[in-house]
A and B are shown apart, each in its own frame.
Chain A
Amino acid sequence: MTTELLYALVGVGLFSLGLYALFVRANLLRKILAVNVMSSGVFLVLVALARRTGAVAPDPVPHAMVITGIVVAVSATAFALMLMLRIVQETGRAELPDTWSE
Chain B
Amino acid sequence: MEVVITTFPWEVVLILAPLFGALSCFLWPKSARYLALSTVFVSVLSVVALAIRLITTGSYRHAIGGWRAPLGIELLADGLSLLMLGVTAVVGLAITVYSTGYFPNRQLLRFWPLWLLLLAALNALFLSGDLFNLYVALELTGLAAVALTALSGGRAALISAMRYLFATLLGSMSYLLGVVLIYHSFGSLDIMILAQRVVQSPVVWSAMGLMSAGLALKTALFPLHFWLPPAHASAPAPVSAALSALVVKASFYVLLRLWLEVFPPGQTAMLGELFGALGVAAIFWGGLQALRAGQLKLLIAYSTVMQVGYFFLAFPLAMAAAWCGVLYLLLSHALAKAAMFLAAGNIIYFSGHDRIVDFDRIANQLPMTLAAFALAGVSIMGLPPSGGFVAKWLMVEASLKSGQWWWAFALIIGSLAAAAYVFKVVGHAFTQTTVRGQTNAVPALMEWTALALALTSILLGLVASWPLAWLEIGGMFSCESAR
Contacts and interface: CB of A to CB of B under 8 A. Distances in A.
Q: Answer yes or no: do A and B interact.
A: yes
Interface stretch (B30-38, B147-155, B314-322): B147-155
A35 B162 CA distance: 13
Contact of B162 (A65, A75, A76, A87): A87
A87 B158 contact: yes
A42 to B, nearest CB: 5
Contacts of A97: 159
Q: Which of B146, B150, B161, B166 has the most chain A CB atoms closer than 10 A to its own CB?
A: B166
- Chain A interface mostly: helix
B229 A102 contact: yes
A99 B166 CA distance: 11
A72 B136 contact: yes
Interface stretch (B169-177, B255-263, B393-401, B435-443): B169-177
Contacts of B183: 49, 61-62, 65
B273 interface: no
Nearest to A87: B158
B134 to A, nearest CB: 12
State which size class the interface on A falls in: 35 or more
A49 B146 CA distance: 32
Contact of B180 (A62, A68, A72, A84): A62
A79 B158 contact: no
Contact of A15 (B143, B146, B162, B177): B177
B173 A42 contact: yes
B298 to A, nearest CB: 8
11 contacts: A15-B177, A38-B170, A61-B70, A61-B71, A76-B143, A80-B162, A84-B162, A86-B153, A90-B154, A91-B155, A102-B289
Interface of A: 15, 19, 22, 28, 31, 35, 38-39, 42, 45-46, 49, 60-62, 64-65, 68-69, 72, 75-76, 79-80, 83-84, 86-87, 90-91, 96-97, 99-102
Given A28-B162, A49-B183, A80-B162, 19 more contacts: A15-B173, A35-B166, A35-B170, A45-B177, A62-B183, A65-B179, A68-B132, A72-B139, A76-B139, A79-B143, A79-B147, A80-B169, A83-B161, A83-B162, A86-B153, A90-B155, A96-B159, A96-B162, A101-B226
